[in-house]
Amino acid sequence: MSSLSSAEKPLVQNVSLDGVAGAKTKAKSPRRKRIAETRHNALRHAGSHLINPTLPPPVEDDEDKAWKRLLHESIETPEEVSEKWGEDVETMRALEKEFNIRINPYYASLIQEKDDPIYKQVVPSKYELIKGCCVDDPLNEERDSPVPSITHRYPDRVLFLVAHECAVYCRFCTRKRKVSDSSKISLKHLEAGINYIREHKEVRDVVLSGGDPLTLSDRRIEYILKSLREIPHVEIIRIGTKIPCVLPQRVTKKLVNIIKKYHPVYVNTHFNHPRELTPEAKQACERLADAGVPVGNQCVLLKGVNDDVETMRALMKGLLKMRVRPYYIYQADIVKGTEHFRTRVEKGLEIIQGLRGHISGLAIPHFVIDSPGGGGKIPLLPHYIEKMDDKEVVMRNFKGERYVYPQVQENIEPTLKTLEEIAKANGFQLGAEIQDYF
Ligand code: SF4
């Protein structure tokens, strides 16, 4: 759909010191320059010891060249955004200081018009300047960070930030305080993170995130997976990645062959809109599924992007067809600069109500708020229960019809009485369907 033919563009191999795919060098703002310098130093002085100099350089095939070329040709400067979409360049410059810009040509090709749901996710908006109640670190991840790059909040799980880059930079990103900045998520912390996990025997589930772990080189990904798999108490490895949605070409045959060596590996990806469900995305998800990787989707409820029932139904149904299981819909976090993406919580409840009963239960995710301050995910459900006491639960189904479920009664002796007689004696009503059943 979006891949550029090799005849159209020169192939550019842009692999940094450790094989991390990076974007092209452009005229740099002071912030970009600082980030680039830090990144360069981090790679030279810290990350390079992880590379075995005796290994031959990785061999690139056509699939590798294709995704690296797409990443290399990303729109990354205020001037490019202004030129392509007519946005005010000064505003873009101000916003770029807050959070880097990256829109790769594949994802840009999904934009049909200015301000459409794809555009809003990646093109900076003046509304990012709104000062609401939002903060830098809404989930308080830093508080639960025993070593840099690790967040250890739940007893048996850790979040391990292994990459600072992404294939696009989403304007609503929860971790924009760190993402795209190698001084905040650094390769030099990789071994400290692995050592922490090795020393903490209670950790059985590791979630790799960042940035996007699949922007790393194959060699680096294999190093991380292998190191974790060698730790006996690590049972599950999960990769949080938006790659199948925003740069599906990165899911190469070589990559899935690496991943499948270290099972059980799960992937949670991040599609927000049905227009992202392209043939390329389908192929990426199916390659992972064919390699035995269960793929789930975590989407974020975003105003003007997916905050209506029809869009969410199309998204969830389309994901299932691609063998991706809808897992979560997140209420948008209160991240600085993202006030304009937030919806009222009732909107999410309305969407769940509009999904349940109308589409397959397999396609219905949990609607959760990742509680501000770091309390973890809290699931929210529409009000299906009208009343619940010792005798019965009175509920409404997805059509709003009322049903009664009798509570279990303690110490019931066998009896020849009919169900109706028992109900009458105990003072509860039987729902029509239950009576029909009996
Ligand atoms: S891909 Fe994920 S981590 Fe990267 S900018 Fe988007 S939301 Fe943030």
> pLDDT, tens digit, for every residue of 319-372?
999 999 999 999 998 889 999 999 999 999 999 999 998 999 999 999 999 888
The answer on 317 and 217 residing in a single domain is: yes
**Residue having the nearest C-alpha atom to atom 8 of ligand 1:** 173
On whether both 189 and 51 belong to a single domain, the answer is no
Residue 327 sits in the same domain as residue 403: no
Confirm or reject: Cβ of 169 under 6 Å from ligand 1.
yes
Among 81, 96, 129, identify where a domain stops: 129
Active-site residue identified among 32, 68, 171, 175: 175
Q: Both 116 and 248 in a single domain?
A: no
Residue at 402 is within a domain? yes
Q: What is the pLDDT of residues 272-320, one digit of tens each?
A: 999 999 999 999 999 999 999 999 999 999 999 999 999 999 999 999 9
Query: Residue 174 CA: which ligand 1 atom is closest?
Result: 8
DSSP 153-195: -STTEEEEEEE---SB--TT-TTTTTTT-TTTS-GGGHHHHHH
Pocket test for ligand 1, best of 212, 333, 335 (most atoms within 8 A of CB): 212
Q: Are residues 62 and 191 in the same domain?
A: no
- Tens digit of pLDDT for each residue in 47-85? 444 555 566 677 889 999 999 999 999 999 999 999 999
> Residues 181-193: pLDDT tens digits?
777 767 778 999 9
Token code pair at residue 32? 């970009």
pLDDT at residue number 12: 32
To test the pocket of ligand 1, the residue of 176, 177, 179, 333 to mutate (highest count of ligand atoms within 8 Å of its CB) is 179
Containing structural domain, residue 64: 30-129
334 and 221 within one domain: yes
* One domain, residues 235 and 105: no
175 lines ligand 1 (CB under 6 A): yes
Among all chains, which residue has been given the structure tokens 């109500």? 353
Query: Are residues 360 and 404 both part of a single domain?
Result: no
Atom 7, ligand 1: residue with shortest CA distance: 173
Q: Is 177 in the pocket of ligand 1 (CB under 6 A)?
A: no
Q: What is the pLDDT of residue 296?
A: 98
Residues 363 and 420 grouped into a single domain: no
Q: Answer yes or no: is pLDDT of 262 > 80.
A: yes
**Which tokens in the block code for residue 38?**
């830090």
Judge contact between 210 and 160, C-beta under 8 A.
no
Q: Which of 378, 395, 429 is the last residue of a domain?
A: 378
**How far is the C-alpha of 329 from the C-alpha of 347, rounded, in Å?**
11
Q: What is the pLDDT of residue 431?
A: 60
Does 339 share its domain with 395?
no
Q: Do residue 121 and residue 203 come from a single domain?
A: no
Find out whether the beta carbon of 212 lies less than 6 Å from any atom of ligand 1.
yes
Give the model's pLDDT for residue 18.
40
**Domains of the chain: total:** 3
Please indicate whether residue 170, judged by its CB atom, sits closer than 6 Å to ligand 1: yes
**Is the CB of 68 within 6 Å of ligand 1?**
no
